[in-house]
DNA sequence: GTGAAAGCGCTAACAC
DNA sequence: GTGTTAGCGCTTTCAC
């Protein structure tokens, strides 16, 4: 395979020598083909193939002061919702010639661990999944050189200055809740997502919107705290079981907490949708094959990942529309399966 | 924040100037503190903090000919099994000072996409999850300079030369099947994992081991083809439903295909474990909260990710035991939940 | 359209 | 122990 006797990986010099041109010309032929004559380009192309040359990214990064790499920060990689997004992120980034680095928070300085990636020239931009974890700690101003955060897919409310790509959480939550109302339910509760400093997030707001518009009361004891995890759903199930006066339907901030709730309550004889109707959010892979199949708001995860990545790279390359507090909102979609059912007329009559 | 008026990110020269030493000394103080006097070290430390210096990885990589980065190749990132492993991979790598790059296959040359990462000096080593996708295409010899593959968590059978970190798939599969046998089942089938070139994989082998030892027949029409996906499980469900003579229990190559199977067959009135007992493999997060809660072989996913990463880095740094066809096998564990039940005596009596 | 030369920030010989 | 020097492989003026 290796053409020359030297076992080193070929450099641009090797290509240049073989093509009978200078290294500068090879560089140009590769990154700006139009600046080079046809014959030269052909010679270089041949030489590249013959030598098996691949660019040394480290050298390029050093010289160009850019890593051609984006950093993806995920709070909880095990979450199936995020892991699916990752797929489209990596795909889009690869297509555009960017590498994808993954970061976990390690250590206890919430600022430093992200910052280091940039100051050490390892990444040019940041894709932050789920704002709750880090947003408050991000260095100011957020858009300082080399730190271009792009937040996506959070249901928290983000104050300006950050570039966002997200689903229409509030409208989606309202749609989900309305589905319950349309089915005749009036006694409706909510398993909440993460609340930052007790502030309502977008999905809670959407839930409230729907309830208010329908003239339905929002009962505090039917508002279950949560954090998008399955155990939060299990906890909500416990609280539900302890209730003397129970709702007949629940809007869950995401599918995982819904699954936790279902699992716990079913173990205590509560049947869904016979005894309780549930709508979730996300439409994770398993939603369709759970029992019962989950009614849920589908987020366009592939689009989310693709658009966020494309936008970030556009910003990095200076081709983004503006780069100033961009806000791209993608629509969600109600997927009706079997975890919701009309409230039986009998129960409706007696006010249950 | 920025101490000097220049807005550039500080270099090692800035630190040197501030500490009143040479750049070489700063470099030494940082990477080999024992080679430098106490007082110098103190001055350098102070200067680093004052300037907010962070090393430029691109420059370091260029100079050292190593990227301090590992590449993780995952065939299907959406799979909850893999995404959980990723978490421990990133954690361990970060602890050891390595970055984690994620790769997806893009384009159609199965060799090139991985190779490029190394020849371009972007990654020093490879963590290959699931061998089926790429192993046959990996360049030979596999352990050529700069290409140190480490394969983990595949249930395929890998011929030597690769470094493996994996679960005891064969023994685990045998254990799972034995659990079914212990419950009185004799009519047992299997939803297969990926078969490479029709060769039995380790889990199929383990299934066969258990059946053979128990003197039970392995029926071809109860061996359902699969690929670890949920739809494969759904397909298996269809085949099962079409059977005139059905097994009473199934060992599923993984939890996801088990879930697909459950979902499809339940929609047709088959109740688990009343009508069929099922054991899976993996113990994915949702296994506990599925309905019924899944009996399954737990893989030590965190350990898998941690050990694989640690081993890879050990190899890269030359501190691994050998680096020659290493094979680390981690134990799996039977988790009994509710998807399996003893075969009712009545059905047993009539040979069902 | 192409080449020569400089330099990105770092580390490793080699002096002292 | 510490400084000086060279050079990793690339891109980019600046000449021609």
What is the DSSP annotation of A184-224? T--SEEEE----BTTB--HHHHHHHHHHHHTT----GGGEE
Chain A residue at shortest CA distance from B271: A291
Closest CA to A333 of A175, A190, A179: A175
The reply to whether B60 falls in a domain is no
Closest nucleotide to A11 by C1' from CA: D9
User: Which residues of chain A have a pLDDT value below 50?
Assistant: 1-6, 140-146
The reply to whether A61 falls in a domain is no
Disruptive mutation site among A6, A68, A93, A104 for chain B (greatest number of B CBs within 10 Å): A104
The reply to whether B211 falls in a domain is yes
What span, in angstroms and rounded, lies between the C-alpha atoms of A67 and B151? 28
Which tokens is B23 given? 């750049």
Closest CA to A272 of A282, A258, A285, A283: A258
Residue A55 touches chain B, beta carbons under 8 Å: yes
The reply to whether A19 falls in a domain is yes
Between the alpha carbon of residue A305 and those of residues A53, A118, A298, B107, the distances in Å are 32, 21, 14, 19
**Domain with B237 in it: what CATH number?**
3.40.50.2300
The reply to whether A344 falls in a domain is yes
Output phi, psi for A188, to 5 deg: -120, 135
Between the alpha carbon of residue A92 and those of residues A89, A205, A309, B295, B296, the distances in Å are 5, 32, 6, 38, 36
**Strand stretches in A99-248, DSSP E:** 99-103, 125-129, 149-152, 163-167, 188-191, 223-224
**Residue B2 neighbours by CB distance under 10 Å:** 12
Under 8 Å between Cβ of B81 and B284: yes
What span, in angstroms and rounded, lies between the C-alpha atoms of B172 and B156? 14
Q: What is the CA radius of gyration of chain B?
A: 26
The reply to whether B143 falls in a domain is yes
**Residue A132 neighbours by CB distance under 10 Å:** 17
- Tell me which H or E stretch contains B251: strand B249-252
Under 8 Å between Cβ of A251 and A177: yes
Residue A230 touches chain B, beta carbons under 8 Å: yes
What span, in angstroms and rounded, lies between the C-alpha atoms of B158 and B141? 15
What span, in angstroms and rounded, lies between the C-alpha atoms of B114 and B134? 9
**Strand stretches in A95-148, DSSP E:** 99-103, 125-129
Q: Considering only CB atoms, which chain B residues are within 8 Å of A116?
A: 54
Q: Considering only CB atoms, which chain A residues are within 8 Å of B67?
A: 57-58
CB contact under 8 A, A83 and B79: yes
Q: What is the pLDDT of residue B197?
A: 75
Number of domains in chain A: 3
Cα atoms in the Cβ-side hemisphere of radius 13 Å centred on B122? 27
**Are both A197 and A282 inside the same structural domain?**
yes
Positive or negative: CA dihedral B315, B318, B323, B326: negative
**Are both A345 and A206 inside the same structural domain?**
yes
**Are both B99 and B192 inside the same structural domain?**
no
Closest CA to B145 of B321, B307, B328, B323: B323
B28 touches strand D (CB under 7 A): yes
The neighbouring-strand residues paired with A251 are A190, A279
3-state secondary structure B72-92: EECCCCCCHHHHHHHHHHHHH
Residues 139-178 of B with CB under 8 A from A: 145-146
**Are both A157 and A176 inside the same structural domain?**
no
Which of B99, B119, B233 lies at the smallest CB-CB distance from A101? B99
- pLDDT, tens only, A260-281: 999 999 999 999 999 999 999 9
What span, in angstroms and rounded, lies between the C-alpha atoms of B10 and A119? 9
Taking 3-state DSSP, the helix, strand and coil percentages for chain A, each rounded to the nearest 5, stand at 45, 15, 40
Closest CA to B340 of B262, B278, B284, B257: B278
DSSP 8-state symbol, A169: H
Which tokens is B314 given? 């050990």
**Residue A228 neighbours by CB distance under 10 Å:** 25
Residue A238 touches chain B, beta carbons under 8 Å: no
Q: What is the pLDDT of residue B119?
A: 85
Cβ partners under 8 Å of residue A126, min gap 6 = A70, A71, A72, A73, A114, A117, A118, A147, A148, A149, A150, A312
Q: Considering only CB atoms, which chain B residues are within 8 Å of A9?
A: 119, 146
Residue A7 touches chain B, beta carbons under 8 Å: yes
**Are both B212 and B339 inside the same structural domain?**
yes
CB contact under 8 A, A103 and B94: yes
Q: Considering only CB atoms, which chain B residues are within 8 Å of A290?
A: 259, 263, 290-291
**Are both B326 and B245 inside the same structural domain?**
no
**Are both B221 and B196 inside the same structural domain?**
yes
A60 touches strand D (CB under 7 A): yes
Residue B231 touches chain A, beta carbons under 8 Å: no
Output phi, psi for B328, to 5 deg: -110, 120
Q: Considering only CB atoms, which chain B residues are within 8 Å of A99?
A: 101, 122
Which of A57, A72, A266 lies at the smallest CB-CB distance from B121? A57
CB contact under 8 A, B55 and A120: yes
CB contact under 8 A, B83 and A83: yes
Per the structure, the complete domain to which residue A102 belongs is given by 66-168+301-332
Under 8 Å between Cβ of B249 and B275: no
Q: What is the pLDDT of residue B69?
A: 95
CB contact under 8 A, B56 and A120: yes
**Domain with B17 in it: what CATH number?**
1.10.260.40
**Are both A226 and A131 inside the same structural domain?**
no
Q: What is the pLDDT of residue B286?
A: 95
Distance from the Cα of B198 to chain A's closest Cα (Å) equals 28
A64 touches strand D (CB under 7 A): yes
**Are both A217 and A281 inside the same structural domain?**
yes
- Tell me which H or E stretch contains A60: helix A57-64
Q: Considering only CB atoms, which chain A residues are within 8 Å of B104?
A: 87, 90-91, 94
Q: Considering only CB atoms, which chain B residues are within 8 Å of A266?
A: 291
The residue written with tokens 């140009």 in the block is A28
* Runs of H (alpha helix) within chain B: 12-19, 23-31, 38-51, 57-64, 80-95, 112-119, 169-182, 202-213, 230-242, 255-266, 301-316, 345-349
Cβ partners under 8 Å of residue B333, min gap 6 = B297, B298, B300
Query: CA at A55, C1' at C2: how many angstroms apart?
Result: 21
**Are both A180 and A153 inside the same structural domain?**
no
Closest CA to A169 of A306, A337, A329: A329
Burial of A141 (0-12, 13-18, 19+ CB in 10 A): exposed
Q: What is the mean pLDDT of each run of 10 residues along chain B (352 residues)?
A: 55 95 96 94 95 95 94 82 88 92 74 78 88 58 52 73 88 98 97 87 97 97 96 98 97 97 97 97 96 96 93 86 78 98 70 50
- Tell me which H or E stretch contains B165: strand B163-167
Q: What is the pLDDT of residue A132?
A: 66
Angle formed at CA A73 by CA A71 and CA A76, multiple of 5 degrees: 150
B37 touches strand D (CB under 7 A): yes
Under 8 Å between Cβ of A130 and A75: yes
Which tokens is B345 given? 């005596």
Q: Which nucleotides of D are covered by protein (CB under 7 A)?
A: 1-5, 7-13
A11 touches strand D (CB under 7 A): yes
Whether omega before B187 lies within 30 degrees of 0, making that bond cis, reads no
**Residue A212 neighbours by CB distance under 10 Å:** 12
What span, in angstroms and rounded, lies between the C-alpha atoms of A350 and B42? 78
Pairing of strands B295-298, B333-335: antiparallel
Distance from the Cα of B216 to chain A's closest Cα (Å) equals 32
Burial of B198 (0-12, 13-18, 19+ CB in 10 A): exposed
Which of B56, B115, B286 lies at the smallest CB-CB distance from A121? B56
What span, in angstroms and rounded, lies between the C-alpha atoms of B27 and B21? 11
**Are both B126 and B206 inside the same structural domain?**
no
Q: Considering only CB atoms, which chain A residues are within 8 Å of B51?
A: none
Residue B260 touches chain A, beta carbons under 8 Å: yes
Disruptive mutation site among A7, A109, A111, A122 for chain B (greatest number of B CBs within 10 Å): A122
What span, in angstroms and rounded, lies between the C-alpha atoms of B239 and B226? 12
Closest nucleotide to B65 by C1' from CA: D8
Q: What is the pLDDT of residue A117?
A: 84
The reply to whether B61 falls in a domain is no
Distance from the Cα of A104 to chain B's closest Cα (Å) equals 6
Query: CA at B116, C1' at D4: how many angstroms apart?
Result: 37
- pLDDT, tens only, A92-127: 999 999 999 998 776 666 667 777 888 888 999 889
**Are both A260 and A117 inside the same structural domain?**
no
CB contact under 8 A, B285 and A122: no
- Give one DSSP letter per residue of B43-72, joined into a string: HHHHHHHHHT----HHHHHHHHT--SEEEE
The reply to whether A198 falls in a domain is yes
B257 touches strand D (CB under 7 A): no
């Amino acid at each position: 395979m290796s053409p020359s006797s030297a076992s080193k990986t070929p450099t641009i010099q090797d290509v240049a020598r073989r093509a009978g041109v200078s290294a500068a010309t090879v560089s140009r032929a590769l990154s700006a083909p139009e600046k080079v004559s046809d014959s030269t380009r052909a010679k270089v192309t041949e030489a590249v193939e013959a030598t098996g040359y691949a660019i040394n990214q480290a050298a390029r990064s050093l010289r160009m002061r850019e890593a051609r790499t984006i950093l993806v920060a995920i709070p909880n990689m095990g979450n199936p919702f995020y892991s699916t997004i990752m797929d489209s992120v990596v795909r889009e980034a690869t297509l555009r010639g960017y590498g994808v680095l993954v970061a976990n928070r390690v250590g206890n300085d919430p600022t430093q661990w992200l910052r280091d990636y940039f100051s050490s020239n390892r990444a040019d931009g940041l894709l932050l999944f789920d704002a709750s974890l880090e947003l408050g700690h991000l260095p100011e101003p957020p858009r300082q050189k080399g730190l271009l955060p792009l937040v996506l897919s959070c249901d928290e409310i983000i104050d300006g200055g950050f570039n966002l790509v997200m689903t229409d959480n509030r409208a989606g939550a309202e749609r989900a809740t309305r589905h319950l109302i349309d089915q005749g339910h009036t006694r409706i509760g909510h398993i909440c997502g993460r609340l930052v400093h007790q502030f309502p997030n977008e999905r809670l707001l959407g839930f409230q919107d729907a309830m208010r518009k329908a003239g339905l009361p929002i009962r505090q004891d039917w508002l279950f705290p949560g954090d998008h995890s399955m155990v939060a759903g299990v906890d909500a199930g416990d609280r539900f079981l302890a209730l003397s006066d129970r709702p007949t339907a629940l809007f869950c901030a995401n599918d995982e907490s819904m699954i936790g709730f279902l699992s716990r309550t079913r173990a205590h004889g509560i049947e869904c949708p016979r005894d309780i109707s549930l709508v979730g959010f996300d439409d994770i892979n398993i939603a369709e094959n759970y029992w019962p199949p989950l009614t849920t708001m589908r987020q366009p995860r592939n689009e989310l990942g693709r658009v966020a990545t494309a936008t970030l790279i556009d910003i990095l390359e200076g081709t983004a529309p503006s780069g100033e507090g961009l806000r791209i909102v993608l629509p969600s979609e109600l997927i009706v399966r079997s975890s919701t059912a009309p409230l039986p007329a009998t129960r409706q009559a007696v006010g249950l």
